[in-house]
Amino acid sequence: MPESQPASKPQPAPKRPPAGDLNCTDFRSQAEAQAALRADPSDPWDLDRDRDGLACETRPGPKDVVPVPR
C-alpha cells in the first residue's frame, strides 16, 4: 500500500508594500486593485490613471468594472 503524502500547507498571501507605495503590479487581479480604490477613492496610489473610476484595467481577472464615483 503506498504511503499517503502529507497535505501541503497553504501559501500565505503576498505581503503588500506600505500604503504610500502601491502600484498595479502589487495586485493579483483588477478586482483586488478596484477594492483598494473603493476603500480610498482619493486614489493616493494613482491606480486609476485615466480617472474613469476603474483601477488597473490591464491586470488579469477577476474584474470589477463598476466605476468608483469620483
Cα distances from 66 to residues 6, 24, 54, in angstroms, run 42, 17, 7
Task: Reply yes or no on whether the pLDDT at 14 is more than 50.
Answer: no
Strand segments, DSSP code E, in the chain are: none
Task: Reply yes or no on whether the pLDDT at 34 is more than 50.
Answer: yes
Mean pLDDT, the chain, as a whole number? 83
Nearest to 22 by CA among 9, 35, 7: 35
Omega before 62 within 30 of 0, i.e. cis: yes
**Residues whose CB falls within 8 Å of the CB of residue 43, separated by 6 or more in sequence, listed in order:** 37, 55
Query: Global pTM?
Result: 0.71
